[in-house]
Amino acid sequence: MTFSRHQLADVAALLREAGQREIMPRFRNLEAGSVRAKSGPLDLVTEADEAAERLITAGLRRLFPGCIVVGEEAATADPSLLNTLKDAELAFVVDPVDGTANFAAGLPLFGVMAAAIVRGEVVASAIHDPVGDDHALALRGEGAWMETATGATRDLRVKAPVGEMAGNVSWRFLPEPRRGVVCGNLSKVAGSWDYRCAAHQYRMVADGHCHFLFFNRLYPWDHAPGWLLHREAGGYAAQFDGRGFDPMRIDGGLICAPDRESWQALLDTLLG
């Protein structure tokens, strides 16, 4: 099965609709009790997450009859849904509000993400910014690009760094002693930060505004869309053990870099 630009445009339009109808009206307007912790204080869900996921899930099933949809909130309630991805003829993973902690805090740094997976292979991705009202899009083998609300597009390309590298390092979910090792090595790169929002971190690295990303926890709704965007923008990514990204594997970490040589240097520097 192939996935077309027209189909990707339909997915992007659906993410925009969720942003306009369910997310932005609640931004900085959440009622008391509408924010809850899931696995811990760093893992939140709001009414916007749940409402947006319902809209996107229903829309994908309407657009692609028979498809499998695995949303973050649905999979939190039923983790066995992850097992449906590998053999599905067409499946979607959906993060209705990536960067929920930022959204709940009133920070305009969150996104809506979806990726299409065909028989275990990520083939298309869309990352929508409800605040800026634009998309970062990618099709496997056809590149990555930005698209504005007016339809204007421009290609995305990673930037090979001259000198030292700076990037996003998400160390919150690293277990000890690895957490201490990575945090102790952060001064060895030119700069590091964590926006608590994979959607914008992947958009940044694919557009050359930072050089690398470092993650530990790998739920597919958080990383399948951005991984494909980065790959199609010319980047290289692999897990800590050197294996390629696998949307069915939720552990093992991930480093995204401009190329294989940079990936190895970051692995040695941060985990050495």
Predicted pLDDT at 24: 98
Residue 11's pLDDT is what? 98
Kindly write down the DSSP assignment for every residue of the chain, as one continuous string: ----HHHHHHHHHHHHHHIIIIIGGGTT-PPTT-EEEEEETTEEEEHHHHHHHHHHHHHHHHHSTT-EEEEHHHHHH-GGGGGGSTT-SSEEEEEEEETHHHHHTT-S--EEEEEEEETTEEEEEEEEETTTTEEEEEETTTEEEEE-TT--EEE------SSS-EEEE--TTPPTTHHHHHHHHGGGSSEEE--S-HHHHHHHHHTTSSSEEEES---HHHHHHHHHHHHHTT-EEE-TTSPPP-TT---S-EEEESSHHHHHHHHHHHH-
Pick the CATH number of 5-155 from 3.40.190.10, 3.40.640.10, 1.25.40.10, 3.30.540.10: 3.30.540.10
Query: Does 32 score more than 70 pLDDT?
Result: yes
pTM for this entry: 0.95
- Note the pLDDT tens digit of each residue in 9-23: 999 999 999 999 999
Structural domain spans, the chain: 5-155, 166-271
Band (pLDDT 50/70/90 cuts) for residue 42 is low
Digit-coded pLDDT (tens) for 117-130? 999 999 999 999 99
Band of residue 162 on the pLDDT scale cut at 50, 70, 90: low
pLDDT in tens, 165-200: 999 999 999 999 999 999 999 999 999 999 999 999
Higher pLDDT, 208 or 164: 208
- Give the pLDDT score at 84: 94
Q: Which architecture characterizes domain 166-271 according to CATH?
A: 3-Layer(aba) Sandwich (3.40)
Residue pair 182/204 in contact by the 8 Å Cβ criterion:
no
Contact 54, 94 (CB under 8 A): no
Residue-averaged pLDDT of the chain: 95
Flag whether pLDDT at 61 surpasses 80. yes
Q: Do domains 5-155 and 166-271 have the same CATH topology?
A: no
Q: Are 180 and 168 in contact (CB under 8 A)?
A: no
For 240-251, the pLDDT digits (tens) are 999 999 999 999
Average pLDDT estimate for 99-119: 97
Mean pLDDT of 55-73: 98
